[in-house]
Amino acid sequence: MRIYIPLLAIDAIALLIALYFFVVGIGDGTVSSFNILLWLAVLGGLSAIILAGRYFRTRRRLLAANVVLAIVGVPAILAGLFVISLLISQPRWN
């Protein structure tokens, strides 16, 4: 139970970030008929993971819910730590 809520929050934040980039891409034209199916697959996959985690929790299968939510949660945490380390260390890229 302790890890379920943070994983759900991280997955929701990842979905909101992807949704933000989708909406911005629609606005500036980078999301077009050529790649909209890829975007919809990514957004649908993120939504399906969140819904599966909620489904398993309502069925009182917390281990399964945590494993499903960790599919997106763990890479999102690692990517966030990477970005934070880049902001702190300010490496020279030349």
Q: Considering the entire predicted model, what is its pTM?
A: 0.88
Residue-range domain boundaries for the chain: 4-89
User: Within 13 Å, how many C-alpha atoms sit on residue 29's CB side?
Assistant: 0
| Alpha-carbon dihedral sign for residues 74, 20, 37, 46 | positive
- pLDDT digits 0-9 by tens, 10-41: 999 999 999 999 999 999 989 988 999 999 99
pLDDT, residue 44, reads: 97
- pLDDT digits 0-9 by tens, 43-54: 999 999 999 999
